[in-house]
Amino acid sequence: MQYRTLGRTGIKVSPYALGALMFATSVGNPDPEDSARIIHRALDAGINLIDTADAYRDSEEIVGRALKGRRDSVVLATKVSMPMGDDPNQRGASRRWIVTAVENSLRRLRTDHIDLYQIHRPDPTTDIEETLSALSDLIRGGKVRAIGTSTMPASDIVEAQWAAERRGLERFHTEQPPYSLLNRGIEREVLPTAQRYGMGTLVWGPLGQGLLTGRVRKGGPNELRRAGFFQHLNDDRRLDAVEQFISLAEESGLPLTHLAMAFTIAHPGVTSAIIGPRTMSHLEDLLAGTDVALTDDILDRIDEIVPPGTDIGTLDQAYLPPALQHPRLRRRPTDERTAA
């Protein structure tokens, strides 16, 4: 592994990071012991960054048990802010919730500190200074080493950096956005902004949440598509692009997964790409492509299929700002419209 520096933290991380969502027994691998073997195999191969979240069901507990005796050699990342119950205060990025949630994560992970603590999704209801103040206290108290965000719009990244400087608070060191052959929207603003502020970038969904594995083909049988588990698996625009990438991979003598992963880590603004293997065979396939480097000719062909800065459809877990979710935020009250 050729390790990279995580932003300006000085922390060295592998270009592949191990995502732990698929270790949750209710949504991924039902066997915690098998998940532990996958974690150990990834560590043995040189992957030293593991990314999980409190919202990933029992993933934190499984990761914590698997790291017994190996914790010091791992850069351990987790996330906070997604709903953890029906209580409206068991979510978000308020100080009240953060100071409680971090203790819960530390207990589940069986550790006394978290190397990278990230805000899982933006929380428009909480002042960013409130969030940064709470996270700064965690760093000063030794419970957290560095802080980051996930799927934060570029304008919010800038606001957070300015707030940290204005208040003398710890600033966000990393951002975790979606990025793949199919979703290149972050090339337009998010990646340049992160680079400008010296932030590390850990990208998720490098395999398009399954579309870039080659197992989902247009017009072909697929249980996930029939069951309707993921809407993006039924998006013809994405499937058309996948077919072109399959042809390009075959011409290049590469498995599609290796083409997809090599693309994401080729961008100078990307520190690591998060892989989410559910089985040992999935992991072995991805490990076999860690040394793949794409030529300029291949990268040019990729640009022709999906132009830089372009998203072909959206991922099911992508962040939507409130104004795009709620019509009332885009429309004046009826009486004002009538008066006009």
CA distance 321 to 324: 6
CA torsion, ordered 177, 183, 186, 188, to nearest 10 deg: 180
Q: Tell me the sheet residues that pair with 148.
A: 118, 174
Q: What is the 3-state secondary structure (H, E, C) of 265-309?
A: HHCCCCCEEEECCCCHHHHHHHHCCCCCCCCHHHHHHHHHHCCCC
- Residue 53's Cβ-count burial label (10 Å; 0-12, 13-18, 19+) is buried
Q: Are 163 and 169 in contact (CB under 8 A)?
A: yes
Residue 166's contacts (CB-CB under 8 Å, 6 or more residues apart) are none
| Residue tagged active-site, from 56, 179, 197, 319 | 56
Q: What is the CA radius of gyration of the chain?
A: 20
Instruction: Judge whether 117 counts as a catalytic residue.
Output: no
Q: Positive or negative, the Cα torsion across 176, 178, 181, 183?
A: negative
Find the distance separating the first CA and the last CA of the chain, reported in whole Å.
63
Relative to beta strand 114-119, strand 12-13 is: unpaired
CA distance 208 to 49: 20
CA distance 141 to 98: 14
Q: Tell me the sheet residues that pair with 114.
A: 144
Give the angle subtended at the CA of 225 by the CAs of 219 and 231, to the nearest 5°: 115
Q: DSSP secondary-structure letter at 204?
A: B
- Hey, which residues are catalytic here? 56
